[in-house]
Amino acid sequence: MGSNELETQLELGLSPVQKATTPDRSHGSMSQREGRRADKTTEHTILIVDDEKSILNAIKRSLSGDNYQILTADNPQEALGLLATNQFSVIVSDYTMPSMSGADFLCIVRKKQPRCIRIMLTGGTETENVPNEIAESILHCQRFITKPWDDDQLRLAIRECIVQYEDSGK
């Protein structure tokens, strides 16, 4: 198996074992199947919440080539309005905002859209050692992304969250 094929399988959420043992019942060429998979990302809506417009724009720009529907809010109240009218696969929220903490906002998200994967965006590196149980129960998030982020790592984290979201619906 070549490295390009392995990368494609990992991007599609398949392990090499799944690929080798799962018969391909789809029709069309590999590029057509990949195109259908890429089109599937448009089913996913991502909300980014941060009080700094430059952060919103930078994250949106980082994810622009991935074909997600991306909505932004520069305060939690605006985000709650969007939450009432949209179903989100992933929400990325800053931890420190003037009117409501990211943890409080994500607590509301967890109650209103429990399947949604919640990511806390933080400027501190202290979150690197926070156990998952504490992150989920106290901070109401499943992942952390620290500022400044690496664009490639951000895109990979979002893809992993999309897979987690899809798996939670099965």
Structural domains for the chain: 43-168 (3.40.50.2300)
**6 close to 48: Cβ distance less than 8 angstroms:** no
Measured CA to CA, the distance from residue 161 to residue 158 in angstroms comes to: 5
Let me know the angle formed at the C-alpha of 89 by 124 and 150, rounded to the nearest 5 degrees: 35
Please report the pLDDT score of residue 154 as a whole number: 92
Q: pLDDT tens per residue, the chain (170 residues)?
A: 444 443 444 444 443 333 322 333 333 433 333 343 444 445 899 999 999 999 999 999 999 888 899 999 999 999 999 999 999 999 999 988 988 988 899 999 999 999 999 998 887 655 555 545 455 555 566 788 888 899 999 999 999 999 999 998 87
Please report the pLDDT score of residue 146 as a whole number: 83
Distance of CA 118 to the CA centre of its chain: 8
Asked whether the whole model's pTM tops 0.75, one would answer no
For the chain, the farthest-separated pair of C-alpha atoms sits apart, in whole angstroms, at 53
Q: List pLDDT tens digits, range 123-153.
A: 765 555 554 545 555 556 678 888 889 999 9
Please report the pLDDT score of residue 114 as a whole number: 94
Please report the pLDDT score of residue 166 as a whole number: 93
